[in-house]
Structure 1
Amino acid sequence: MAKRRARNLDDQAIERIIGVLDGWSGRLSWDLLVDTLERYLGARYTRQALDKHGRIKSAYQIAKARLSKAPSPGRRQKISDAEIGVLIQRLERLEAENGRLKVENENLLEQFITWAYNAHLKGLKKEDLNTPFPCVDRELTKAK
């Protein structure tokens, strides 16, 4: 019996995949991620399908960088009560910051959608909008 093709990745599935990557600990590879997502989402996606989505690719690269800097489990030290208090305060601040940034991101996405719609109405194409800024000549002016 042939395997059924996994459904297309929608925004909700992409959010869940990014959440998995944000909470990932230990060794990370595309194969491990694909296997974990199959258990978590009930569908098997290929590395290429995941890598094709910019947000997933970016979250994967960020997770890889974060994990490469993390100390190995054998090198962790005991944490004092004072340090735990500081860590709890930091966690609360980061959670608040994360919530604020999510709201800001939603607002920016809404603004982008508005701009994209208005650009479409004016007949602008993606290439027009992605034209790089002109180079600026910042050499010193020669005095006379």
Structure 2
Amino acid sequence: MSRAPNLSAADIETVVGVLDGWSGKLTWDRLIAVLAAKLRATYTRQALSNHARISDAFDQRKKALRNGSGESKRAPKDMSPEMQAAMQRLERLEAENERLKAENERLLVQFTLWLYNAEMRGVTKEQLSASMPVTLKEATVFGKRDGRSAR
């Protein structure tokens, strides 16, 4: 059996998206089974939980499900399929919004820590905020060249 490829940024986004829409009992084994079909590769709990975004999204979704706030609300029998789909989409977007808020808070804490440590070593905010040279921008995953991600 060959090893699954490393998780790409797109794969990680897919995993957290699956978690955002998760309803019912959430376990690593169940998540792995769903991801095996979606990503066409089988990953271990350790491989998934080594990625902070996945681990944090899993913990956050598990907590929401435990508290009942992440459970899908039962739609009345007479509700139209369109309305049921809209309710499911709303629930998924609410879960995604909560996850993104938590991710943003963690990133703000990380940024503040980095800024503090940089200032303690004599690096100024202006130096940290200096623009990257064009060649470096193109080499980052954030830069784009010819409409494609530079990977």
Q: Which residue of 2 aligns with 1:42?
A: 40
Q: Which residue of 2 aligns with 1:23?
A: 21
Query: CA shift at 1:10, angstroms?
Result: 1.1
% of aligned pairs identical? 45
Instruction: Find 2:31's aligned residue among 30, 33, 58.
Output: 33
Q: Which is higher, the Rg of structure 1 or of structure 2? A: 1
Query: CA shift at 1:67, angstroms?
Result: 1.0
Q: Aligned partners of 1:69, 1:79: CA distance in 2, in Å?
A: 25
Residue deviations 1:36-61 (CA, integer Å, cap 9, x gap): 10011000000000010000000000
Query: CA shift at 1:78, angstroms?
Result: 4.2
Runs of at least 4 residues of structure 1 off by over 3 A? 75-81
3-state SS, counterpart of residue 21 of structure 1: helix
1:22-101 paired onto structure 2 within 5 Å: 22-70=20-68, 76=74, 78=76, 91=90, 98=97
Task: Return the letter of the residue paired with 1:43.
Answer: A
Distance 1:79 1:69, change over 3 A: farther
Return the TM-score normalized by structure 1.
Answer: 0.52
Distance 1:76 1:45, change over 3 A: same
What root-mean-square deviation, in Å, do the aligned CA atoms of Structure 1 and Structure 2 show? 4.3
Q: Structure 2 unaligned runs (5+)?
A: 124-151
Q: Aligned partners of 1:40, 1:69: CA distance in 2, in Å?
A: 27
Q: Structure 1 unaligned runs (5+)?
A: 125-144
